[in-house]
A and B are shown apart, each in its own frame.
Chain A
């Protein structure tokens, strides 16, 4: 623990739950240490680190249990952890303007081609002649959205760590531009959950032609899949348009859910920054929502 706290209620819980955690660890390892060690010996380390075991289990093996560490035996192991998104950021520095302005059609074409190649997706500034007002802008952090009638902030957390990381953002008092993500809690699906988790708000009302074709544009933008990328770091996320905004006077061009901001590396400090945002042409709905790595990266 790298911080100090003298709050008595925190100290009470920390002491109690650390002891309980240690006891649960010891119980698990006493009963099943042989099987867990078998796994460590027989699985590539990248699987152990990436999966559920790495974060919550193997890294916290209690003292006295020396886990057998697998050794690197292939080029894949040797390059494990190498992040190709950083290389993409370097490549984009030559293509993205240093000032905050909209991209020219040529820049949009060049950048979308680069993104398509790097992520193995069909990334476009427009689909069927419909486009947003811009593809490069300033994103700001948004709150969570109500997903169904009766939803609340606490239900958004799958784990307590979700709440610790994203709960502070709060929940918007009003609904998103398309209302609830689903009509009732009973109909709430994993797909709805992921859509709210990785939603963005874009200025649909400023899209060229919007005023003349409101219904057509509203339907086109609803849950439209987009690739967002922080050109400074290469961090990228696939999200959906789940709300309309922000207002022009804010100086921001789009908004991201707490999870989107986290995955773009923009959750700290002012909770805003420059991003590229392009449509993903995914008519079969194959591309999963969430953080995305350059193909061949880890």
Chain B
């Protein structure tokens, strides 16, 4: 399912690294779920940390109601300066750590 941040984060390099590992379908799905959920948690934490209490509620309500996420980015851009850059940084930092983890995992094969 696409998220409000899908457009400006990329999992291409992580996927490329994982593709080179010997993983069964179940293993792939398990690791992918951990990655996606971790990115999601980190981004939500970043967004919520930049909002006032009442705006947190409005954001979460939009997130639950607006399945196409058409209004969420407009809302966030109006409330937080450079929110897209903040989200990109959080996701980038997390995936950089994951790249290191994959490189170490490859040494264990």
Contact = CB atoms under 8 A, between A and B. Distances in A.
Interface in B9-59: 11-16, 18-19, 21-38, 40-42, 44-45, 48-49, 53, 56-57
B22 A9 contact: yes
Contacts, number: 166
Contacts of A21: 34, 37-38, 41
B109 interface: yes
Nearest to B37: A56
A286 to B, nearest CB: 14
B102 to A, nearest CB: 7
A10 B11 contact: no
B40 A57 contact: yes
User: DSSP class of A's interface residues: helix, strand, loop or mixed?
Assistant: helix
A36 interface: yes
A273 interface: no
B109 A52 contact: no
Nearest to A4: B26
A154 B12 CA distance: 5
A39 B62 CA distance: 10
B24 A5 contact: yes
B108 A56 contact: no
Interface string A172-183: 000000000000
Nearest to B42: A24
B89 interface: no
A17 B38 contact: yes
B78 interface: no
Interface string A279-298: 00000000000000000000
Contact of A52 (B3, B14, B35, B97): B3
Nearest to A190: B7
Contact of A155 (B1, B12, B24): B12
Contact of A164 (B12, B29, B61): B29
A2 B26 CA distance: 9
User: DSSP class of B's interface residues: helix, strand, loop or mixed?
Assistant: helix
B60 to A, nearest CB: 4
Contact of B101 (A17, A31, A157): A17
B12 A53 contact: no
B105 A13 contact: yes
Contacts of B97: 20
Interface in A7-28: 7-10, 12-14, 16-18, 20-21, 24-25, 27-28
Nearest to B27: A10
A14 B32 CA distance: 10
A9 B67 contact: no
Contacts of B16: 154
Nearest to A43: B64
A30 B25 CA distance: 34
Q: Closest 5 CB pairs between A and B?
A: A164-B32, A160-B32, A9-B105, A24-B41, A164-B28
8 contacts: A10-B31, A18-B34, A21-B34, A32-B44, A57-B41, A160-B14, A160-B31, A161-B36
Given A7-B109, A163-B32, 7 more contacts: A5-B26, A10-B31, A32-B48, A53-B63, A56-B37, A159-B6, A160-B18
